[in-house]
């Protein structure tokens, strides 16, 4: 993409309304614009990152055998009356009447809806286990939306649901998601710590939140020091194997969110205790028959009887993750994208747009990278070099190729690593082969 044509309205000044760094940087880097309180439009570069994160989530969900579908945003209130949650859910639920006066709502989550779909379709134990998910916009009418996309009202969430013949089988599904989530965060360059969590309005007897540590986190968490240095899940997970030992490794030590903290256990930890601010990036629940019972989701058993299915739900905030990654990966100059979700791998800076030789060389590098399938953003704007450096650092592409008349005379460019700040003078060929390797 040529920056001269790209819709990337960067800002020089820090927007006064943004209290945390990810919100500030997303506005400054032209990734989002506020539409109304807690509701954002994703401009092209922000959208690209959002979709890159979605792709990682999709790939990992597919790897564990979870099937993608898509439920609508608007649901019938009557369905929520069946589960008893319509009245229980507070003013955070956006309630709507359609033109015929029917009570509807903008879904904040989908337990009722997926249970209804499953109930009407599945008949036999042979169809179990089943894991289904969708990635859809949700709405929660926060009283004070803040922190940009981190605590918005309209947000993109991946929510998955598992269906099993009994709670023991449900536990197996739960473990799959537990491990799967660690894989997802790892690919996004995040270290997320699983913590025992309150089940809140979803209900159930087992629940973990996944939190990353960041100074701007909204809740105070406490955990054993070992979590910081813990080895992460490998890339090859066999989801058909027994994952309990792996789950045990990640849950054996103390780790608790705000409302679950235990002063006694913490006192016993002594110097091994860490307290910090945390950002929730996922939440998983096993709630057994809490929804399948009132909604009547049953299957026949191998013995000829009937069983109410055991369920769980598993949420990852896709839009929130964009902010969380920035909270975890930035410096004073701007964002530092992990390569796995960067909007472009390479930023190519033409130091002298308008200079014939410079333009030709940059066009050549640009075309060669594109031909090799490397995503590149070329700054071909007619502005001063200082502005180009600042914008390129701000938007945080992993690599910068800086091409100016002086170096190009000898066929040389500069390659800069955004994360480390390291710079190298290289021939064009070497720079290309480094980027396409």
Residues of this chain that interact with a second copy (CB under 8 A) are 4-7, 9, 30, 33, 35-36, 39-44, 46-48, 50, 65, 67-76, 91-92, 94, 96, 98-99, 102, 104, 106, 113, 117, 120-122, 126, 130, 132, 134, 137, 139, 141, 143, 153-154
Q: What is the sign, positive or negative, of the torsion defined by CA atoms of 250, 253, 257, 259?
A: positive
Measure CA 339 to chain center: 15
Instruction: Name the residue nearer to a second copy (CB basis): 98 or 215.
Output: 98
Query: Taking the complex as a whole, how short is the minimal distance between the CB of residue 120 and a second copy, in angstroms?
Result: 7
Instruction: Name the residue nearer to a second copy (CB basis): 153 or 176.
Output: 153
Query: Taking the complex as a whole, how short is the minimal distance between the CB of residue 429 and a second copy, in angstroms?
Result: 29
Query: Taking the complex as a whole, how short is the minimal distance between the CB of residue 264 and a second copy, in angstroms?
Result: 39
Query: Taking the complex as a whole, how short is the minimal distance between the CB of residue 116 and a second copy, in angstroms?
Result: 8
Instruction: Name the residue nearer to a second copy (CB basis): 55 or 423.
Output: 55
In the block, tokens 């969110």 appear at: 257
Instruction: Name the residue nearer to a second copy (CB basis): 17 or 262.
Output: 17
Is the Cβ–Cβ distance between 284 and 250 less than 8 Å?
Answer: no
Query: Taking the complex as a whole, how short is the minimal distance between the CB of residue 210 and a second copy, in angstroms?
Result: 25
Query: Taking the complex as a whole, how short is the minimal distance between the CB of residue 294 and a second copy, in angstroms?
Result: 18
Q: For residue 411, give the H/E element and its range.
A: none
Q: 205 is written with which tokens?
A: 């007897």
Is the Cβ–Cβ distance between 270 and 220 less than 8 Å?
Answer: no
Instruction: Name the residue nearer to a second copy (CB basis): 40 or 250.
Output: 40
Is the Cβ–Cβ distance between 381 and 353 less than 8 Å?
Answer: yes
Instruction: Name the residue nearer to a second copy (CB basis): 72 or 364.
Output: 72
Q: 253 is written with which tokens?
A: 């030590």
Q: Which residues of 292-327 are buried (b: 16+ CB within 10 A; e: fewer)?
A: bebbebbbeeeeeeebbbbbbbbbbbbbbbbbbbbb
The pair phi, psi for residue 105, each rounded to 5°, is: -155, 155
């Amino acid at each position: 993409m040529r920056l001269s044509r790209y819709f990337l309205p960067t800002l020089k000044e820090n927007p006064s309304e943004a209290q945390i760094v990810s919100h500030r940087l997303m506005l400054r880097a032209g990734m989002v614009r506020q539409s109304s309180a807690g509701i954002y439009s994703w401009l092209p570069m922000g959208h690209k990152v959002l979709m890159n994160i979605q792709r990682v989530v999709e790939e990992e969900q597919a790897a564990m055998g979870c099937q993608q579908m898509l439920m609508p945003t608007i649901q019938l209130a009557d369905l929520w009356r069946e589960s008893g949650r319509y009245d229980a859910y507070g003013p955070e639920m956006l309630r709507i009447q359609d033109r015929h006066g029917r009570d509807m709502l903008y879904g904040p989550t989908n337990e009722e809806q997926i249970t209804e779909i499953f109930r009407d379709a599945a008949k036999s134990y042979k169809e179990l286990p089943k894991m289904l998910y969708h990635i859809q916009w949700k709405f929660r009418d926060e009283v004070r939306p803040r922190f940009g996309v981190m605590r918005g009202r309209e947000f993109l969430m991946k929510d998955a649901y598992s269906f099993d013949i009994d709670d023991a089988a449900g536990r197996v599904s739960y473990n799959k998601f537990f491990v799967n989530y660690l894989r997802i965060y790892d690919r996004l360059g995040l270290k997320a710590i699983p913590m025992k969590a309150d089940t809140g309005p979803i209900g159930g007897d087992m629940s973990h939140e996944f939190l990353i540590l960041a100074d701007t986190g909204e809740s105070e968490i406490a955990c054993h020091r070992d979590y910081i240095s813990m080895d992460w899940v490998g890339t090859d997970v066999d989801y058909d194997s027994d994952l309990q030992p792996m789950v045990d490794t990640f849950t054996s030590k103390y780790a608790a969110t705000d409302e679950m903290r235990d002063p006694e256990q913490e006192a016993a930890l002594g110097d091994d205790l860490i307290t910090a601010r945390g950002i929730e990036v996922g939440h998983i629940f096993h709630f057994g028959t809490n929804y399948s019972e009132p909604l009547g989701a049953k299957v026949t058993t191998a013995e000829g009887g009937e069983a109410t299915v055991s369920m769980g739900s598993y949420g990852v905030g896709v839009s929130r993750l964009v902010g969380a990654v920035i909270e975890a990966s930035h410096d004073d100059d701007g964002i530092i994208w992990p390569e796995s979700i960067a909007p472009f791998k390479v930023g190519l800076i033409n130091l002298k747009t308008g200079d014939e030789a410079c333009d030709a060389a940059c066009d050549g590098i640009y075309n060669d990278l594109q031909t090799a399938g490397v995503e590149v953003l070329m700054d071909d704007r007619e502005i001063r070099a200082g502005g180009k450096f600042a914008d390129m650092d701000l938007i945080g592409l992993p690599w910068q190729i800086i091409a100016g008349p002086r170096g190009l005379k000898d066929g040389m460019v500069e390659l800069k690593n955004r994360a480390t700040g390291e710079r190298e003078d290289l021939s064009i060929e070497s720079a290309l082969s480094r980027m396409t390797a």
